[in-house]
Copies of this chain bind each other. A is one copy, B any other.
Amino acid sequence: MAKMNLLQAVNNALDIAMAADDKVICFGEDVGSFGGVFRATSHLQEKYGRDRCFNTPLVEQGIIGFANGLAAQGSRAVAEIQFADYIFPAFDQIVNESAKFRYRSGNLFDVGGLTIRTPYGGGIAGGHYHSQSPEAYFAHTPGLKVVVPRNPHQAKGLLLASIRDPNPVVFFEPKRIYRASVGEVPEEDYQLPLGEAEVTREGSDITLLAWGAQMEIIEKAAEMADKDGVSCELIDLRTILPWDVDTVAASVQKTGRLLISHEAPLTGGFAGEIAAAIQERCFLYLESPIARVCGLDTPYPLALEKEYMADHLKVYEAIKASVQF
């Protein structure tokens, strides 16, 4: 085991993947000799050469178009989009191409080797365009997998699994905790399963569900609630698509309550999908409405970021409202 922060864990996963398989190729804006603006690809060009780790021109639609072709050819294309806010120029290549490549060809061709890594989320004084959490845009797209890790250990295992998964994966990295989240990470090669949520804390009164950097927030809120004698069960969804409805439903059938929290705006966010599916599965078990604590329905602000965010206090208040319903 080694102590790593989340960035180091990502870097370590890429290093292991490239060492283990010549077909793994990393690229994107500034990812070459510089190692990426967050340094997630540090030293990879040095180790594996300019052919396997390189800068691209500044064109996201090109990066993912290129990556789709490279994956179709049989390589494991690991493309970085510098900020998730800048993934939208590549939206067509992802939603119309990556997601539908296998299906439309009847499995003659696929881009299963594709992984798109991108830092997402707020809380870093980034305003509109360095703060977005666009996972829901992708979660409405059959054919994609969407993964978000919450800490270094998860990041390494889930990224290795994503790179090797035979389906295109959009891998969102919680940049607010890139350096703040530090933990023990096995040095060896390991994978964590995609499509499986994890119960990170058991409890009996209410289920709190989140992913990525938001896990920290719901943990903090759960501790506050604990002091009030409210026992929270915590679930990290980990994979947003395809998502693990069974684990969530089992938990809600036990606790009778569900709160979902994400950073993205409320309306049309993925919490809506979860709430809809769970009210259907757990209708007779629910003791209060499923609560959603999310970003406001505005673009991401700067000066009033603190007010905007779904913080632990808002989650805590929502827990109270739910148990007192």
Contact = CB atoms under 8 A, between A and B. Distances in A.
Interface string A75-89: 000000000010011
A91 B272 CA distance: 22
B290 A279 contact: yes
Given A89-B61, A95-B88, A136 B268 contact: yes
B267 A275 contact: no
A190 to B, nearest CB: 29
A268 B141 contact: yes
Given A89-B92, A280-B290, A283-B288, A139 B268 contact: yes
B91 A88 contact: yes
A289 B298 contact: no
Q: Give the interface residue-count category, chain A.
A: 35 or more
Nearest to A296: B142
Q: By DSSP majority rule, is chain A's interface helix, strand, loop, or mixed? A: helix
Interface string A49-87: 000000000000100000000000000000000000100
Nearest to A140: B268
16 contacts: A91-B91, A99-B299, A100-B299, A103-B299, A104-B299, A139-B268, A140-B264, A142-B265, A142-B297, A142-B298, A143-B299, A275-B280, A276-B276, A276-B279, A276-B292, A279-B279
